[in-house]
Copies of this chain bind each other. A is one copy, B any other.
Amino acid sequence: MDTATRTRIYDSFAAQSMMVTLGATLADVSNGTVRIEAPILPGSRQQQGFGHAGLTFSIGDSAAGYAALTSLPLDMEVVTAEIKINLIAPARGEKLVAIGKLVKPGKRLCVVTSEVFAVENGLEKLIAILQGTMVPVPL
């Protein structure tokens, strides 16, 4: 992908203070696929001590949104219209990894999915899947 698109996505990610709060990083950006990683910080837990669904959701949603953005002109942003998450296993381990994919690009609507994995002792385990709709909007 071209440098301008990549730079734009890294800039947008850096502007999301929530990603900083969660310790999330943009690990990879390619056409239609984006990878975001985040540790399970002491401040990102639910009542049993596992990673909070809000953490899993936040990086899964962001990875899906940026996967859509890789297909759009430089003067566009995306916002999430809707997204659904199925939580499959507890968020347990060293870190979470979200892989967002663009299923169907579009000028009005982009259909996206994400998979979120927990990495524990170096082993990846699928903990959540997401399916949603992103809306391109002018920057």
* CB nearest neighbor in B for A79: B87
* Chain B residues whose CB sits within 8 angstroms of the CB of A119 once the complex forms: none
A80 beta carbon closer than 8 Å to chain B: yes
Number of identical monomers bound together in the oligomeric complex: 4
Q: How large is the interface on A (under 10, 10 to 19, 20 to 34, 35 or more residues)?
A: 35 or more
**Residues 54 to 88 of chain A near chain B (Cβ within 8 Å):** 54-55, 57-58, 61-62, 77, 79-88
A6 beta carbon closer than 8 Å to chain B: no
Partner-B contacts on A (CB < 8 A) = 12-13, 15-18, 20-22, 42-48, 52-55, 57-58, 61-62, 77, 79-89, 103-104, 108-109, 111, 113, 126, 129, 131-133, 135
